[in-house]
Structures are given as C-alpha cells and as structure tokens.
C-alpha cells in the first residue's frame, strides 16, 4: 500500500510540475490526448494483468498470487 501511495503522489507531482510547460509547448488539446492515451494504456494493463479480488479473502488472494 505504501508503494502504491508513493507512486500515486509521485505521478501527481510530476503532472503538476510539467502541465503548464508542456501545455505551452504543444497545446492543451495534445496534452489531453497524451493523458487520455496514458489512461487507456493503464486501464488495459489493469484489465489484462491484475487479477479480480472481489469477494475473496486475504488468504485466497495470497494463495492465488503465490501460484503466479
């Protein structure tokens, strides 16, 4: 959880620090397209590689991940 939270804060910081500069360089619409592509790529990654854990106990999740 700590790693995930740190990654989230780090990516948010990176976007916050670069948004205005990149917007001035390539324009707002292209920045939105780039963010859309990155979001769709991350959604595809989650759908393909992250197992569903809804309704599973921590023990079941742990056993399933250990198999992989």
pTM beyond cutoff 0.85: no
What domain count does the chain have?
A: 1
Identify the residue with better confidence: 64 or 37. Answer: 37
Q: Render pLDDT for 5-49 as a digit per residue (tens, 0 to 9).
A: 999 999 999 999 999 999 999 999 999 999 999 999 999 999 998
- The parent domain of residue 21 ranges over 1-67
The pLDDT score that the predictor gives to residue 46 is 93
The pLDDT score that the predictor gives to residue 16 is 94
Q: How far apart are CA 22 and CA 59, in angstroms?
A: 45
Distances from the Cα of 58 to the Cαs of 3, 42, 65, in angstroms? Answer: 19, 25, 11
18: tokens are: 């670069």
């Amino acid at each position: 959880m700590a790693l995930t939270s740190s990654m989230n804060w780090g990516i948010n910081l990176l976007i916050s620090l670069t948004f205005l500069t990149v917007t001035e360089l390539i324009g707002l619409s292209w920045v939105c397209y780039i963010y859309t592509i990155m979001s769709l790529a991350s959604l595809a990654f989650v759908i393909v590689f992250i197992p569903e854990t809804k309704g599973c106990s921590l023990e079941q999740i742990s056993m399933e991940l250990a198999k992989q």
